[in-house]
Structure 1
Amino acid sequence: MSTVRPRGSAADTGSDFARLTQRITEAGLLQRRPGYYTVRLGLVTGLLAAGWTTFVVLGDTWWQLAVAAVMAVLFGQVALVAHDLAHRQVFRRRRPSEIWGRLFGNLGIGMSYGWWMNKHTRHHANPNHEELDPDVAPDILVWSTEQARNSSGLARLIGGHQALLFFPLLTLEGFNLHVSSVRALRSPYMKNRLLEGSLLLLHLAAYLSALFLVLPPGKAVAFLALHQCLFGVYLGCTFAPNHKGMPTFTGDERPDFLRRQVLTSRNVHGGRLTDLMLGGLNYQIEHHLFPAMPTPHLRRAQVVVRAYCAEIGVPYHETGLLQSYREALAHMHRVGEPIRRQRRAT
């Protein structure tokens, strides 16, 4: 999809978000939901503990692969809780958000809270900006035809057929999350390296000890592979619909905050099950406009935001879950054309 151009002057568009914020505030949608998060954090913690208890009780059996699949979903739910904590949806203050974020992230699933916070903050500030958003930086995949033309190494090798390879590559995302978390410990932006590293090490030691003490080596490796692969696929399927295939920016292209967030985001409609499995990220437009808004308010906020965007003439994109994947994959195939064309020429 081609890049989009800013609309309106800063003075004109700057007030659009202020008026929307006033409506959202008057509706009470920015208020904290301590009861909801007490129940949610308690349920996720309890289910994770129940999953590991089931693993120990079952012992040496190939039925553990079913446990691995369930645990992949539970790890994904823990990651979504860590996401909400990082955005201060749960606690207004930074310190309790960091404490619980590291407990759920570093200790719970082996994901560095500090690494993810740095990466995700940059994404929120400049979504789909090819030079500023780390989520669309050309690495293994390319996200624009210009990136495809300039690609090299693994990105060039994969880029021509990246749409076909996207879901298989997601099986590596769980492993990549752990590796990136450890590598980030050496980064200058990382705070509390000792704490972050200690919690990551404790998670790894407990995880591997549990697997190889309860299961023989072959089954332990099978459990680890299936668990981490499905965890990566679940995370990828949760985040892929949000921005992939939506307009991108380059250089000095930087519309006002409201348009920057709305134009680059895609909502996914569905029922309560969709809300649960995607952790509220299916309301990506509302989440990007109001990152600290508690998850249970996003559904109500959608009605306000969608109507307001229609009122001021800002495109608001929403689709079903399967269609969101089709759009993302179609975009990935389209931007890989320069690589395919060059290969045909040679």
Structure 2
Amino acid sequence: MWELVPFAPTHNLIGCKWVFRVKLNADGSISRYKAGLVAHGLKQQYGVDFDQTFSPVFKTATIRTLLTIVVSQHSELRQLDVKNAFLNGVLSEVAHMKQPSGFINPAFLNHSCLLKKSLYGLKQAPRAWFDKVSRFLLSYDFIKSAADSSLFIFKSSVVTIYLLLYVDDIIITGSSSSILQQFIDDFNAQFLINDLGRLSFFLGIEVQHDSHGLFLCQKKYLAGSISHGLSITTASSLNILAYADTDLVGCPTIRRSTSGYCVFFGGNLISWSSKKQPTVARSSSEAKYRALASAAAKVTWILLKDPHITLSTTPVVFCDNISATYLAYNPVQH
């Protein structure tokens, strides 16, 4: 992880500390206790010991779309957890850290730790890990989705594998159980993982399986709506339908309208939005057209070109304003 080197005044020396936390199950019970060494990333200096820090995370509509595909194709749905994921990242910058408590070498008290690999707490740690795992997946002939950088797709003549990455949590599914298991074994040989089996709990959401499909809920803290959730059911045909609507001058103070839309894929709700429009609409047609445009933009993003899914029909966006639909059909009037 690091190499002890003589400390120089020109080094930007960052500190570190031990962090202890409790990992919980879906019902709030204790799963295990964890301890980790964390660097003081706030002491880092841009351009000295870090540069780029951005690391993508998937969009919520992506996971709901993927779950709809899995349920409709009756594919196996697995969950993996990468152990100490950030420690796999390779640093391209020079970073110096104080020797951690409990591991101070008395023979080298005037030395610092020259980090060779990434460490939790470093500003570039998430990016370094994502770059490392991305390179491995691309070398395995996965393709990164153009719509969502956290979705990786492997397609051959005999199998299609979808892998969704959220930091160190992975959802993976494939049309062949044997080939899927072979990939998981190869992935484990490169990155040590916990194979958690069938997907049951992901990012605070409990996933229940039944004969009709999946039921997503958050029982852990939704005391007032513990019986409510989002259902993902098997679809006889995969098509995209969207509904857009808005009010007119809904806010009496700022006179702006509120747009809303919901998008269904295979009959399952995968994306929705409700937000105030940025400017005051001069007519109901203008307000409705803005809502229609927002829904159409979301549908265009969800068109499923990367996952190689063929839609049964052309996507349809519904709007209850004739003037707005005429504007959409006839660009001459724009």
TM-score in terms of structure 1 length:
0.24
With structure 2 as the length reference, what TM-score do the two structures score?
Answer: 0.25
Which structure has the higher relative contact order (CA within 8 Å, separation 6+)?
Answer: 1
Q: Which has the higher strand share?
A: 2
